[in-house]
Every structure is written in C-alpha cells, then in structure tokens.
Amino acid sequence: MGDKDVILGTQTYEEKETQWKDGRLRERSSNWQKKNIASHSSATSSISLENNNIVSGNVSSGENLKANNVPWIGSYLPSQLQPYARLARLDMPVGTWSIAMAAAPGNIPDLKFLVLFACWALFLRGAGCSINDFLDRNIDKMVERTKFRPLASGELTPFQGLCFLGFQLLLVAGVGILLRLDNLGWTLGAITLFLVFTYPLMKRITYWPQAYLGLVINFGTLLGWQAVKGTLDLAILLPLYVSGICWTLVYDTIYAHQDKKDDIKAGVKSTALLFGDSTKKWIAGFGFTSIGCLALSGFNANIDK
C-alpha cells in the first residue's frame, strides 16, 4: 500500500489534497473579487469627481478638457497664445508633397526649399483654418465636435480671428518672397489663396466639399514642383494631384461621418451624407485610384532610377 493510500482519519490523502486545492482556489477568487470591487469603486469615484467638477464649474469649459489632447500647446505656450495655436491647428502635422520628387534621381531634396515650403504650408494651412472657423463660427456652435473651437466658443472674438488671419497671410507672403517665386509661382500662389478662402462656402452649396478640400490642400504639389523646376510637368504632377485629391476624399469622408447628425441640423452638406450606406464602396474606389495615380506619377518621374 503506497503513501497516498494511507487513511488519514476517515479521508484518504488524495481527498485531503483535493480539498486543500479547492480551498486555495476559493481564497484566490475571493481576493481577486475584492481587488476588482476596490478598483471599480475607485474608478467610479474618479469619474463622479470629474463630472462634479465639470458641473460645479471647477473645469471652466470643455475646451480645457480637450486641450489635454494637445499637450505641447498647454505645456509650452502662454495661455494668451493657446487659442491662436488651436485656431491655426498647430497641433496637427503639415508637410510638403512635391519638393522631394522634384529633386534629381539619387539626390536629396534642396534643404532650403524643404524648410521654406514647410513653413509656407504651416502658415497657409493656419490661414485656411482661420478663415474656415471665422465663416463657420455659427455653424460650429451646433456641431458637437467643433463647438469648442476658439471662435465658436467665444474664446476669441471675430475681430481677433481676422487680425490673426492677416498676420498669417503676411507670413505666407514673406515666405513667397524668400522663395523668389517667378510670375507663374505667384499666380499659383494666388490660385491657392482663392481655393483656401472659398472652401468654407462649399459645404453650403454642394455635397462634395471633401473633393474641393482635396483641390485646396494638394495644390501645393504644383507650386512646390514649379518653385524647384521653374516649369510644370503635368505628366508627373497631374497624377500626383489627383492621387492627393482621392486620398483626401477617403479620410475626410470617414471624418465627416461623425458629424452627420449635426450637419443635417445645421443644414450643411458632405460626402458622408451623399454616400450614406455606400460609403465603403466609394472610399475603396478612391483609395485604389489614389494608389494607382501615385504609382503612375512616380513612374513618370523615374524615381526608380
């Protein structure tokens, strides 16, 4: 008879071992439940405290909560400048499209043009956002996502917004002078400004404001190439431009879906409302077109050599 078969009182060793394991499991389960309840209570208390702070006025506005998503603006800029930074969307990245492609194959792009056009894109995009928020300030008040923007919330007055817009346009003109643009370059720059200033009106008259936005924010592909080369190579630039427009339609249509209910109440239009349940098919088509045109542009530019 082995050790495990020895009778211990009225129970075998195996029965004692099973009871011991069951007891340990029940103890661990009890401890886990206590920790889980404590954690849930702590989280609930934290949420309740945050809600009480908002209701009681300890949090001055929803924008202060939203500013937590823009840590560098809240951390490094004086409080007086923070509304202007948010108005210009300085927390969002910008870039240049065609400077790199204009470089000779095997060579890095001109650093001066990269820096100047990065600044130009930053200032022009800021000006575009400023005029957009100025014209849409009454609409933005009715949209959950935009009601805390500086002009819509009253954090900045319309006059302050216009003054800031003028300041950014001066910076755009200054960068243009530094780039030494020729007549064609200045013409393209003027067209860019026209597109930027008319974009906010499109949502009022067409269901394709996202397409017009694509025309606006990708027009720099033409100006960037022209500034480097002095000419416009449409075999390269036209597919690149169309690719950018299609990509804008992809992400901005997805973006517009979160505002559909508010857009209907505000009386504005979007491709999200136009496409409806067919959105996935549309953006898939735009996505494939964007990739195809981008590949064609690269092929025509001989970037594989």
Q: What is the DSSP letter of 104?
A: P
CA distance 52 to 94: 38
Kind plus residue range of the DSSP H or E element containing 235: helix 234-256
Residue type present at position 83: P
pTM: 0.71
Token digits for 193?
A: 């400004």
Structure confidence at residue 179 (pLDDT): 78
Structure confidence at residue 107 (pLDDT): 74
Structure confidence at residue 213 (pLDDT): 94
CA distance 305 to 293: 19
Structure confidence at residue 70 (pLDDT): 56
The mean pLDDT values, 10 residues at a time, for the chain of 305 residues are 44 51 53 48 39 35 45 77 90 65 72 83 90 93 89 95 95 85 88 92 95 92 85 92 96 92 91 95 97 92 70
Q: What is the DSSP letter of 89?
A: T
CA distance 304 to 97: 18
Contacting residues for 213 by C-beta, under 8 A, at least 6 apart: 199, 202, 248, 252
Contact between residue 101 and residue 236 where contact means Cβ atoms under 8 Å apart:
yes
CA distance 188 to 232: 11
User: Tokens 């025509």 correspond to what residue?
Assistant: 300
Contact between residue 298 and residue 272 where contact means Cβ atoms under 8 Å apart:
no
Contact between residue 105 and residue 173 where contact means Cβ atoms under 8 Å apart:
no
Helix, strand, coil abundance in the chain, percent, nearest 5: 75, 0, 25
CA distance 12 to 3: 10
- Cα 103 to Cα 31, 113, 196, 251: the distances in Å are 65, 11, 27, 28
